[in-house]
Amino acid sequence: MILVVGAGFSGGVIARELADAGNQVHVIDRRPHVAGNAFDEIDSHGVLVHRYGPHIFHTNADRIVQWLSRFTEWRPYEHRVRSVVDGRMYPFPINRDTINLLYGLDLDEAGAEAFLERVREPRDSVRTSEDVVLNSVGRDLYEKFFLNYTRKQWGLDPSELKAGVAARIPVRANSDDRYFTDVFQAMPMHGYTRMFENMLDHPHIRVEVGVDFAEVKHERFSHVFYTGPIDAYYDHCFGPLPYRSLRFEHEHLPHVTQYQPVGTVNFPNDHAYTRITEFKHLTGQEHPGTSIVREYPQADGEPYYPIPRAENEALFKRYEALAQAEPDVTFVGRLAQYRYYNMDQVVGAALAAARRFLG
Ligand code: FAD
Ligand code: UDP
């Protein structure tokens, strides 16, 4: 019997691959549901919401789409975001229209490119998230759109975070206002939870939710795939590995058919929350009311994000060295590998881990 700890993307994909290859798999999750952070549910007002914040599936990897498509149909969806600065909504990521609207200009694409070239603060070495943004858009746009959002989201200055965090956000001189540009962008037609139920529906898979690893770790398993926080597995023996948490404040607005013009609105400089997402944009659901969620970053609570900084990665490496010395346990996923993975990347990592195991 193989044990899979965690029923999120990493655990779900591994369990299915191993079961398809003829193995008996026991999946546990300490939370009372499958799907990990991608869990969605119909709220008490009948609207499909994501309990742990907005999840939009996007990828350039066709084999990952093919693999997941065994368990769901898809609804095409291109996510759009606006950012509120000084009380006005701007397209975000920054594009030509953001610049024109903000500065009262009428630049074409070449003009926007020249503008960015003029305002950027070139950096020889781009190491931090501050470097990334100053190097591409300069100080004014950095202070209006990035500085305070990042401080709020991470409790850190952009100069304290690795370049990869802010590098997730592109800068465009054209008018493309999509948040992602991947070739495949879609939502599971009947939700993530349904997709996971289909993935885990296999005669060789037994799922138990509401069970912590601590409750079963004395039992004998031929192999363990662990997808929770790696420091917790080792009882924080080198000290806690920092993860960033969020508090999600869900709200239903009856008789409001549309609350905001796009799926997500960011608030870099106002409020204690970073963003508001209105789920009907993502899911295409029709309903006389609407449901939204606000995300309040916090240090303590359920771990959601690894915090990409050199000292954290050094601490992770110490835990990873312990993990590598353990032939019967495989650590996979955003929390176990301490990587700021998107869902498609987690699927890729989980498929690779399962295939390595199966030889
Ligand atoms: P998780 O989903 O965290 O699953 C790990 C599971 O292990 C959890 O369910 C946990 O309960 C369980 N577990 C942990 N410890 C134990 C234990 N001791 N015993 C039993 N069970 C345990 N990605 C995108 O591609 N697009 C998006 O739009 C997007 N939006 C996001 C928005 C937010 C707010 C957040 C936080 C993440 C977002 N992501 C997005 C990232 C996405 O959530 C992750 O890539 C993915 O869910 C990671 O899957 P995982 O299986 O590695 O981890
Ligand atoms: N970011 C920002 N302003 C924004 C949106 C993002 O400064 O309006 C920065 C911030 O540091 C954030 C990072 O870019 O953590 C990545 O943003 P993304 O939307 O990808 O974060 P996620 O959806 O993973 O929370």
Which residues surround ligand 1 with Cβ inside 6 Å? 5-11, 28-31, 36-38, 52-56, 212-213, 227-228, 246, 304, 333-335, 341-344, 346
Question: Which of 269, 284, 303 is at the close of a domain?
Answer: 303
Would 87 be classed as within a structural domain? no
Q: Best of 34, 37, 179 to mutate for ligand 1, by most ligand atoms within 8 A of CB? A: 37
Spatial separation of the C-alpha atoms in residues 69 and 289, rounded to whole Å:
31
Question: Which of 282, 303, 324 is at the close of a domain?
Answer: 303
Residue 210 and residue 121 share a domain: no
Residue nearest to atom 38 of ligand 1 (CA): 55
Q: Which ligand is nearest to the CA of 217?
A: 1
Q: Best of 14, 16, 55 to mutate for ligand 1, by most ligand atoms within 8 A of CB? A: 55
Query: What pLDDT is recorded for position 190?
Result: 98
Residue 102 and residue 161 share a domain: yes
Residue 299 and residue 157 share a domain: no
Q: Which residues contact 243 (CB under 8 A, 6 or more apart)?
A: 229, 303, 304, 305, 306, 307, 335
Query: What pLDDT is recorded for position 92?
Result: 98
Residue nearest to atom 20 of ligand 2 (CA): 168
Of 279, 273, 286, which Cα lies nearest the Cα of 252? 279
Average pLDDT over all residues of the chain? 98
Spatial separation of the C-alpha atoms in residues 262 and 264, rounded to whole Å:
6
Confidence of residue 16 (pLDDT cuts 50, 70, 90): very high
Question: Which of 303, 329, 350 is at the close of a domain?
Answer: 303
Would 172 be classed as within a structural domain? no
Query: What pLDDT is recorded for position 354?
Result: 98
- Region 317-346: what's the mean pLDDT? 98
* Bridge partners for 59 per DSSP: 184
Query: What pLDDT is recorded for position 37?
Result: 98
Share of the chain above pLDDT 90, in %: 100
Residue 222 and residue 120 share a domain: no
Residue 162 and residue 99 share a domain: yes
β-pairing verdict for 290-298 and 275-278: antiparallel
Confidence of residue 326 (pLDDT cuts 50, 70, 90): very high
Query: How many domains does the chain fold into?
Result: 3
pLDDT, tens digit (0-9, with 9 covering 90-100), for 246-297: 999 999 999 999 999 999 999 999 999 999 999 999 999 999 999 999 999 9
Would 326 be classed as within a structural domain? yes
Query: What pLDDT is recorded for position 122?
Result: 97
pLDDT, tens digit (0-9, with 9 covering 90-100), for 171-190: 999 999 999 999 999 999 99
SS3 call for 309: coil
pLDDT, tens digit (0-9, with 9 covering 90-100), for 56-94: 999 999 999 999 999 999 999 999 999 999 999 999 999
Q: Best of 92, 128, 142, 153 to mutate for ligand 2, by most ligand atoms within 8 A of CB? A: 153
Share of the chain above pLDDT 70, in %: 100
Residue 266 and residue 128 share a domain: no
Query: CA distances (Å), 121 to each of 15, 148, 170, in order?
Result: 48, 19, 16
Q: Which ligand is nearest to the CA of 166?
A: 2
Residue nearest to atom 12 of ligand 2 (CA): 150
- Residue 14 tokens read as 């591994």
Query: What pLDDT is recorded for position 229?
Result: 98
pLDDT, tens digit (0-9, with 9 covering 90-100), for 83-122: 999 999 999 999 999 999 999 999 999 999 999 999 999 9
Residue 268 and residue 185 share a domain: yes
CB 346 within 8 A of CB 10: yes
- 206 CA → ligand 1 middle, Å: 20
Query: How many Cα atoms within 13 Å fall on the side-chain side of residue 142?
Result: 20
Would 344 be classed as within a structural domain? yes
Residue located via tokens 């990828």: 59
Residue 271 and residue 185 share a domain: yes
Q: Which ligand is nearest to the CA of 304?
A: 1
- 166 CA → ligand 2 middle, Å: 7
Query: What pLDDT is recorded for position 128?
Result: 98
Query: What pLDDT is recorded for position 11?
Result: 98
- 311 CA → ligand 1 middle, Å: 23
CB 36 within 8 A of CB 228: no
Would 173 be classed as within a structural domain? no
Residue 110 and residue 156 share a domain: yes
**Does this model's pTM top 0.85?**
yes
- 70 CA → ligand 1 middle, Å: 21
CB 353 within 8 A of CB 330: yes
Atom from ligand 2 closest to the CA of residue 133: 7
Range of the domain at 161: 94-167
- 199 CA → ligand 1 middle, Å: 16
SS3 call for 341: coil
pLDDT, tens digit (0-9, with 9 covering 90-100), for 210-249: 999 999 999 999 999 999 999 999 999 999 999 999 999 9
- 255 CA → ligand 1 middle, Å: 33
Residue 338 and residue 268 share a domain: no
Residue nearest to atom 18 of ligand 1 (CA): 213
Residue 276 and residue 208 share a domain: no
